Structure 1
Amino acid sequence: MSHEEDHRSNRVGWLRAAVLGANDGIVSTASLIIGVTAANATQHNILLAGIAGLVAGAMSMAAGEYVSVSSQLDTIKADLALEKRSLEEDYEDEIDELAQIYENRGLDSIMARQVAEKLMEHDALGAHARDEIGLSDSNGANPIQAAMFSAATFTIGAALPLLVAWLVPLPMLIAMVAGSSLLFLASLGAIAARAGGASMSIGAIRVTFWGALAMALTAMVGQFFGIVT
């Protein structure tokens, strides 16, 4: 009977992007709404600021993710080109290099050499990419997909406090946006932690703390400028 563990590390990439996008959407938009409200703005202007923040934030997330993933892929391509050239120029040295890696991981020298030779016979560049450079299939993210995913999760997160600000009357706006946003953040942190196999309570507390801090600081800034003006 075979035994298979349910590993969670394969979820790290998409989970990080989803949590980051939604968390930024909630925190930035809720903080913006609270800050503008504390500055004694009208509800129309508050909603306008929130919508502008949603659009700007989603585009910023998309652009940032696109540039980040594209830069990562450029580095990977450069590393692979360098490794391919090394294999063409000095194949034997590359076998020795790979064998040394396996020997450092615990194989004896003869076995390490045999493993290196067999793997390089099958896929020399792939073996070096995986074991020397540390690349894997998960490194091949698509920049456009990453950008769209980040923008979408940010938009979903930002829409939550914006919807609350649209529905509640102005005197209750700060309390309701802050309370609902902290609830959204706690839920997001718990779900993300559960998907990653970590403690749900720690995940919820961690995300909620930083969200509450951002909202409090923005409210102070908004109140200060509201008094000044």
Structure 2
Amino acid sequence: MNYIKHLNAIFEVFASDTRLNPTHISLYFALFQMWNENRFPNSFLVDRNSTMLLSKIGSRTTYHRCISNLHQWEYIVYEPSQNRFKGSRVRMPIFEISPGQVADMNDTTDELAVVSYININKHIKTNNKLSRESIPKNEQVVLNFFKNNHWEAVEATRFYNHYQGIGWKVGGNSSIEDWRAFAKKWMLKANELNADKEPARKPRKKGKVDYLQTTTKKNYGEPL
């Protein structure tokens, strides 16, 4: 077990994995510290209360969700205990720069598994590419986005019709990578144009105003 190589690899994986939040990372390093204190065994027992205290997690629901996520995403192997008087068991696969080996979670050997973070990064990048919405699915998606940002619906329709008409491209060649970012630019430009159209307020005349003064000559001899 190379402490430095493992940390370097896991930090690089964490930086690329958009599924993780700070609670996942805090929990992982709490488990890593416990693994370190036990001199990196093949597996070790964990106590929920102690782990929550070390990872600064205050909710049991959050703890169980995060540890289940780490298990699902193959950062750890979590074996929950069915006995409340006995702690659950955790295995920590090794992350290294070497791309040759992948962890076998069903392996019964005493040797620690080695995980290739290169393969994990490829999987993460593929998921990110598929999940990124370069163009909206339909006009309703755009309307909902504008509504959530408290923008006028008419601007949403103008935005959608404009870019739908030009095939969601920039300069006629480059495809839009993030339509939401272009929507924000659209609204910034729209707000600037609206500000330019507002008529200038007439400055007030200094001094007192004579509200009894009239400009129209009247014949007060005529009956009302």
TM-score range, shorter chain: under 0.3
The TM-score, its normalising length taken from structure 2, stands at 0.26
Structure showing greater radius of gyration is 2
Specify which structure has the bigger relative contact order, considering alpha-carbon pairs within 8 angstroms and separated by 6 or more residues. Answer: 1
Higher helix share: 1
